[in-house]
C-alpha cells in the first residue's frame, strides 16, 4: 500500500491508465454493435431497460453512455497535467510546450474531421466528432494551465455562463428556443459553419461548455501531483459540489440536463461523475494498491487514439463487415439462430481489436498526437 504523497512522486498513475482503458473498451464494444444486439435480444425483459443505459438519452435526461465522452475529455485533461509537469521538469520552455499543444490540437482536429468526412455519397465537412471537440478544449486547458486554481474555476464558470447567454438571449428567428431540438442557437451556428443541422441534435459549439471537462481534468491532475494528503477526499468533495449544482439546476427547472447540446447542468453533472470515478479508481488502485487484472484495460488505454481511429474509420467502413462475413459464414454450418450469431460476431471483432492493441503493446509501439 502506498501513501498519497508517494504516489504523487511516482511517474505512472495506474488508475488513469485503467480509466482511459475502460472507456476505450466500452467504446470499442459499442463500435461492434454489441449493445444494439443485446438490447434487441432483451426486448420485453428487465435487462432491456438496463441496456438502454448504453445508448445516449434521446434528449432531456442522463444515461450512463452520456458520460463516456465527458470521461474521454476529462481524462485527456488529467493526462495533460502529468505531461506538462514532466516537460517542465525536463526544462522544456513554455513556447516549446505551446507549439506541441498546437500541433496536437491540429492533428486532433484533422482526424476528427476525417472521421466524418468520407461518406457513401462523397465527402462531408462536419465538426461533431469528439476529437474535433477535444482539439479546442485541449488548447484552452493548456493556455490557462498555469493560472491559479481559483482563476481557472472562475474561467470555467464564465464558459458556462457564456453558454447560457448564447442559448437564452441571442433570439435568432427560428432558433430562439434554448433547449428545443433543431431550434436552438447551437443548430444555428452549425448552419453557419457547415450549412447543415445534425438530425440527432448534436452541435459543434459543445466545445465551449465541455472545455470545462478538460480543464477540470487538468485541475484534478494537478491535485494528484500535489503534496496534499487527502486527494481522494478532495476529488469526492468537488464531485459532490458539481453533481449537486448540475442536478440542482435540472430539478429546479432552470436548465435541463441535455447531453446533445451540453447544457450547463449536463456539463456539471457529468463532470461530477468523472471526478467521482477518478476518486474511486485512484483510491482503490493507486492508494490501496489493488493492481491485479487491470492489464486487459490498460493495454487498450495505452493506444487510445489509435484504437479509436481504427474502429471509427477502418472498423465501420470495412473491418466489421469483413470479419462478420467470416464468422457468420462459419456459424451458418451449425444452424445457429441469428441473434447469437450477431453477438458472437461482435465479440470476435472486439477480440481482434484487443489483440491488435496487445500486439502494439508487446512491440512497445504507442501512437501519440
**Domain spans of the chain, in order of start:** 4-362
Q: What is the pLDDT of residues 165-190, one digit of tens each?
A: 999 999 999 999 999 999 999 999 99
Give backbone dihedrals phi and psi of 172, rounded to 5 degrees, phi first.
-85, 125
Q: 20 near 304, Cβ under 8 Å?
A: yes
What's the rounded mean pLDDT across residues 140-164? 97
Q: 218 near 145, Cβ under 8 Å?
A: yes
Crossing angle between the packed helical segments 130-143 and 68-89, to the nearest 10 degrees: 40
pLDDT number for residue 336:
85
What is the b/e burial string over 224-236, where b = at least 16 CB atoms within 10 angstroms of the residue's CB? bbeeeeebbebbb
pLDDT number for residue 183:
96
C-alpha cell, 154: 472562475
Cβ-Cβ contacts under 8 Å for 258 (sequence gap 6 or more): 59, 60, 179, 265, 266
Residue 7 pLDDT greater than 60, yes or no: no
Q: What is the pLDDT of residues 257-300, one digit of tens each?
A: 999 999 999 999 999 999 999 999 999 999 998 888 899 999 99
Q: Which stretches within the chain are classed as H helix?
A: 4-9, 14-31, 34-41, 46-51, 68-89, 94-117, 130-143, 149-169, 185-194, 207-225, 231-251, 264-281, 295-301, 304-309, 320-331, 338-362
Q: What is the pLDDT of residues 24-75, one digit of tens each?
A: 999 999 999 999 999 999 998 999 999 999 999 999 999 999 999 999 999 9
CA distance 285 to 18: 9
What's the rounded mean pLDDT across residues 135-160? 97
Q: 48 near 327, Cβ under 8 Å?
A: no
DSSP 12: -
Residue 110 pLDDT greater than 70, yes or no: yes
CA distance 21 to 361: 13
Amino acid at each position: 500500500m502506498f501513501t498519497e504523497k508517494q504516489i504523487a512522486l511516482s511517474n505512472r498513475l495506474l488508475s488513469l491508465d485503467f480509466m482511459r482503458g475502460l472507456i476505450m473498451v466500452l467504446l470499442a464494444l459499442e463500435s461492434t454493435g454489441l449493445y444494439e444486439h443485446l438490447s434487441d435480444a432483451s426486448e420485453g425483459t428487465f435487462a432491456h431497460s438496463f441496456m438502454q443505459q448504453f445508448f445516449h438519452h434521446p434528449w432531456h435526461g442522463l444515461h450512463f453512455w452520456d458520460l463516456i465522452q465527458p470521461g474521454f475529455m476529462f481524462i485527456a485533461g488529467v493526462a495533460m497535467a502529468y505531461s506538462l509537469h514532466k516537460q517542465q521538469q525536463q526544462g522544456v520552455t513554455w513556447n516549446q510546450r505551446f507549439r506541441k499543444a498546437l500541433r496536437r490540437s491540429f492533428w486532433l482536429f484533422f482526424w476528427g474531421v476525417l472521421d466524418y468526412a468520407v461518406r457513401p455519397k462523397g465527402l462531408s465537412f462536419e465538426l461533431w466528432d469528439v476529437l474535433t471537440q477535444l482539439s479546442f478544449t485541449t488548447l484552452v486547458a493548456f493556455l490557462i494551465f498555469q493560472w491559479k486554481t481559483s482563476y481557472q474555476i472562475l474561467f470555467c464558470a464564465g464558459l458556462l455562463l457564456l453558454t447560457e447567454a448564447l442559448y437564452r438571449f441571442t433570439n435568432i428567428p427560428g432558433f430562439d428556443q434554448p433547449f428545443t431540438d433543431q431550434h436552438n442557437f447551437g443548430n444555428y451556428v452549425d448552419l453557419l459553419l457547415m450549412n447543415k443541422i445534425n438530425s440527432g441534435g448534436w452541435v459543434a459549439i459543445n466545445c465551449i461548455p465541455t472545455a470545462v471537462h478538460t480543464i477540470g481534468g487538468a485541475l484534478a491532475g494537478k491535485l494528484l501531483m500535489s503534496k496534499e494528503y487527502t486527494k481522494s477526499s478532495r476529488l469526492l468533495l468537488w464531485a459532490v459540489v458539481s453533481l449537486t449544482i448540475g442536478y440542482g439546476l435540472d430539478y429546479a427547472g432552470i436548465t435541463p440536463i441535455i447531453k446533445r447540446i451540453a447544457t450547463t447542468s449536463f456539463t456539471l453533472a457529468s463532470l461530477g461523475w468523472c471526478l467521482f470515478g477518478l476518486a474511486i479508481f485512484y483510491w482503490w488502485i493507486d492508494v490501496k494498491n489493488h493492481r491485479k487484472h487491470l492489464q486487459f484495460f490498460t493495454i487498450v488505454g495505452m493506444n487510445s487514439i489509435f484504437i479509436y481511429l481504427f474502429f471509427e474509420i477502418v472498423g465501420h467502413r470495412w473491418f466489421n463487415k469483413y470479419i462478420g462475413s467470416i464468422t457468420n459464414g462459419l456459424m451458418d454450418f451449425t444452424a445457429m439462430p441469428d441473434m447469437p450469431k450477431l453477438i458472437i460476431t461482435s465479440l470476435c471483432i472486439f477480440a481482434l481489436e484487443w489483440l491488435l492493441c496487445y500486439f502494439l503493446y508487446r512491440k512497445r509501439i504507442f501512437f501519440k498526437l
